[in-house]
Structure 1
Amino acid sequence: MWMPVETIAAPAGSWTTTALARTYLSADDDDGQDAIIQGMIDAAGAYVEAYTGLRLLTQTVRLRCRSFLDLERLPIGPVAQVTAIDCLTTDGLNPTLSGTLWEQFGFGLSVGVRPAAGKTWPVLRQVDDAVRLTVEVGYGADPSTIPPPIRQACFLLLGDFFANREDTSPDGVAKATLPNGVAALLANYRMF
């Protein structure tokens, strides 16, 4: 059982710039909307990350789970590297496990951690956050490293946010929750 992901070191930037977003939205440079557009950029990126379970740009996160069995598949991606594992053991110690005791395996969006050959996991306390991992995730520091379908889904959301700034139309009819194409573009990138 995985607990919510904690961001330790946020990405240095965003999945796009306000200048590129303005171009995509056909918004004037001098209309004073940059703060609003940046909020929509942030919201589109956050939505895609929540919908897929991915992190778009390089960042460091903390994962917590109850059991070493949970490590067979990490709930976030793309994983660049697991940098540390510590745990709560029955003897009351909180050891950081040496990198010689475990190994990362898999690739792409299917990465896990297992004991190294000939090694075993320590005995854990029975608490929800007994195992704690520090993980570097994301497609890279540069937005151009994000796969094109994911960036296009972000732009579709951005355009929808910009064009439809309310949840309902003037006649009170609820609008669709996602623009056409977002779910299809993200289908191969969902972690769950």
Structure 2
Amino acid sequence: MTGVYNLVSSSTTPIVSLAEAKRQTNTADFGDDDGLLTALLDVATQHFDLESGIIGRPLLTQVWEYAAPSPPQNNGRSDPRLRGLPPATGFVIDRAPLQSVDKVEYLQDGVYQTLASGQWVKRKISKELTFVRLAKGVAWPRVDDDEAAWKITMTLGYGATAADVPAPIRHAALLMISHLYQNREAVTGFGAALQETPLAVTALVAPFRSPNF
């Protein structure tokens, strides 16, 4: 059984500022549409961010929990992404960019216990994968038979500020904001020529799309 990711907390900061959006839409000299542009900042951020976005990555810093039953018994056989590595029992974290693994907990007699930080290690397998296992010489504790017997708390995202987000993603957000500001309808044209207006951002964000999404 694979684990489940749950969002604990996330930033409410948009990935581009109102000032940047006003420059992009040539509205820097008046504030009549600031309310609309502020709403479009949120739309663009959500369009690209992990939980519901098209890239499949968290952008600004977020805290997530990974809940899973007892870990697989052999990473070399249980998860093909880890073949070639020394066999070990552990958990595969396939969310990126991963800033840190903050806490490992296990459920024992209905109460979550924290596994001391020195008793587990994380190993970066690739840009997309991190393996969390026990430190050498540490035995796995007894845990309840539960689908969330283990919880791993982690911090994801490119960073805490909009400037930490890769420039192509931020510019794609500006293109989307400008498009939505200039085109207040879902389609353009008339009669037989009526068609959906393209957002023209897919090419910019494609290199950042998660292969696990």
The question of a shared fold, defined as TM-score above 0.5 by the shorter chain, is answered with yes
Which digits, 9 at most, give the CA deviation of each residue in 1:83-115, with x for residues without a partner?
1121224x4342111111211221644323222
* Residue identity matched to 1:95: Q
Structure 1 unaligned segments of length 5 or more: list them: none
**SS of residue matched to 1:121:** coil
How many percent of aligned residue pairs carry the same amino acid? 23
Cα separation, partners in 2 of 1:122 and 1:33, compared to 1, 3 Å: farther
Residue 36 in 1 paired to residue 28 in 2? no
Distance 2:185 2:69 in 1: 41
Secondary structure of the residue that 1:60 maps to in structure 2?
Answer: strand
**Cα deviations by residue, 1:11-39 (Å, 9 ceiling, x for unpaired):** 26321110111111222442422222122
SS of alignment partner, residue 13 of structure 2: coil
**Secondary structure of the corresponding residue to residue 51 of structure 1:** coil
Query: How far apart are residue 67 of structure 1 and its match?
Result: 4.3
Equivalence for 2:84: none
How much has 1:175 moved relative to structure 2?
A: 2.0
Deviation at 1:4, TM superposition (A): 4.5
> Counterpart of 2:112 in structure 1: which amino acid?
N
Residue 110 of structure 2: aligned partner: 92
1:140 match: 159
CA-based RMSD: 2.9
TM-score, normalised by the number of residues in structure 1? 0.79
1:175 and 2:193 are equivalent in the alignment: no
In structure 2, give the amino acid aligned to 1:74: I
* 2:179 pairs with 1:160: yes
- The structure whose residues are more often strand, as a share, is 2
Pick closer, same or farther for the CA change 1:169–1:76 going to 2, 3 Å: same
Structure (1 or 2) with the larger CA radius of gyration:
2
- Structure 2, unaligned stretches of length 5 or more? 73-78, 80-89
* 1:98-145 Cα shifts (integer Å, max 9, x gaps): 111211221644323222222243344343333222212221223222
For the structure 1 residues 124 and 154, does the alpha-carbon distance in structure 2 shift closer, same or farther, using more than 3 Å as the test? farther
Amino acid at match of 2:210: R
In the alignment, which residue of structure 2 is the partner of 1:53?
A: 56
- Say yes or no: does 1:190 pair with 2:210: yes
Q: Deviations over 1:133-168 (max 9, x none)?
A: 221222122322211222222223222322333334
1:64 shift after superposition: 2.5
2:101 alignment counterpart: 82
Q: Separation in 2 of the partners of 1:105 and 1:115?
A: 11
Tell me the matched-pair count.
189
Alignment of 1:11-30 (within 5 A): 11=11, 13-30=13-30
Cα separation, 1, equivalents of 2:129 and 2:29: 42
